[in-house]
Amino acid sequence: MSYRDEIKDITRGISPSLVDFGVPRVRTSPPTQASSNFITNKEQGDWAESVIFKAINETMDGYVAVRYGRSDNLVAGEPGFTAFYEAFQDELDTIGKRPDLLVFKEKDFRKDLGFDISQTPHDAVEAYVGRAIAGLEIRSSAFLIEKYEAEMQHRTLMALQQALELKAEIIKNYGDLLQERGKRKYLDILNTLNEDTIMAISFRQPVWSVTERHILLTGLFRALKKCVNIVQK
């Protein structure tokens, strides 16, 4: 399997709430001015990219990092920004977003092109780019932390809601099975489970297969255990 196929497999497992690859890209208009927050995030990203670039080239024998992503220092409101922005939009529509860095095996590195091909037209380096073993998109963690925290909070709330729904379903439809010998402790756990106690809930996932209902009950507890684990992370 090629790394392209591996990446495709990975993207299929990404939650649409983080990135929805099925949504068509909408071409945007150039912003008229850059906020201080944007400038700060850009500076953090540039710094992080520089750290990774130097780390690879100074410490990894046999590999070379090359700057590939657009590195113009123009920001909204400065002369020339609109033309730069429109050219960037054209590029997104043709080849997509260039990774910030490409990593080549040392034997494939072209000294004539050097360590920065960010300003080189794609047609001139297309074959060369295809020989890279990795493309790195660098982001400062400060830039993504708010989105990550929001996603994790949403995920936790959904898991909590599902856990409470599973609790209600089990008690309503399978309460009689939990009266059986050796199963009463699971009913006690369910009765104490709520949004205040879920962080302290702990139980071993049961496996019952005496009847079809026992098998279904096992599946519900498996789902409940998964929800509890998500909330407790």
Q: Dump pLDDT digits (tens) for 169-200.
A: 999 999 999 999 999 999 999 999 999 999 99
Sequence-distant (≥ 6) Cβ neighbours of residue 221 within 8 angstroms: 170, 186, 205, 206
Tell me the residue type at 20.
D
Q: Do the Cβ atoms of 94 and 112 come closer than 8 Å?
A: no
Mean pLDDT of 6-32: 79
pLDDT in tens, 115-147: 999 888 888 998 999 899 999 988 776 666 677
Tell me the residue type at 69.
G
Q: Do the Cβ atoms of 117 and 74 come closer than 8 Å?
A: no
User: Which stretches within 101-140 are classed as H helix?
Assistant: 122-129
Q: Do the Cβ atoms of 25 and 124 come closer than 8 Å?
A: no
Tell me how many degrees the CA angle 98-24-140 measures, rounded to the nearest 5.
Answer: 40
0.75 exceeded by the pTM? no
Confidence of residue 105 (pLDDT cuts 50, 70, 90): very high
Q: Do the Cβ atoms of 113 and 119 come closer than 8 Å?
A: no
Confidence of residue 40 (pLDDT cuts 50, 70, 90): low
92, pLDDT greater than 70: yes
- Phi/psi for 24 (5° steps) reads -60, 145
DSSP string, 61-73: TTEEEEE-S----
Q: Do the Cβ atoms of 175 and 217 come closer than 8 Å?
A: no
Q: How far apart are the first and last CA of the chain?
A: 33
- Phi/psi for 112 (5° steps) reads -65, -25
43, pLDDT greater than 80: no
